[in-house]
Amino acid sequence: MTVVNELNRELEKLDSEHGVEISAVITRSGAPIAWHLPHGISAETIATLSATIFGASEVIFTGSGWDKPHKVTVETSPNGIMVTRSLGRKAILVLMSHKLDAAELEKKAGEAEVRIREVMQNE
């Protein structure tokens, strides 16, 4: 099984087992590597804009003399959340859900990060 296939399998499990409707592993420059998205949603759009949000946050923090963020969270009202987490120097994990609250999605993102980093190390 290829690394991309293994990543896609991990992302699919986040939806089927935990209610994460949108998930992707993307490059820091905004290219999709692996994704699990509802029909009609563009992996390229999710990747490009998520990388922009994460990268802009890094610029804001480092420009203020702070360390780079490890994660960036965006919430909507009444119920929607996006978590982006660094997967190292090359990649970012993106998860979105309107079924989970912020704490639940943050927990799932942390667990997924560990598994995805393991898969990517085997590349």
- On the 0-12 / 13-18 / 19+ scale of CB atoms within 10 A, 72 is buried
5-30: pLDDT as tens digits: 999 999 999 999 999 999 999 999 99
- How far apart CA 82 and CA 60 sit, in angstroms, is 19
Q: What's the pLDDT score for residue 92?
A: 98
Q: What's the pLDDT score for residue 9?
A: 95
Question: DSSP characters for 30-63?
Answer: S-EEEEE--TT--HHHHHHHHHHHHHHHHHHHHH
| Cβ–Cβ < 8 Å for 70, 57 | no
Which pTM does this prediction carry?
Answer: 0.94
**Locus of tokens 């293994």:** 6
Q: What's the pLDDT score for residue 123?
A: 65
The residue ranges of the chain whose pLDDT is under 50 are: none
Q: What's the pLDDT score for residue 77?
A: 83
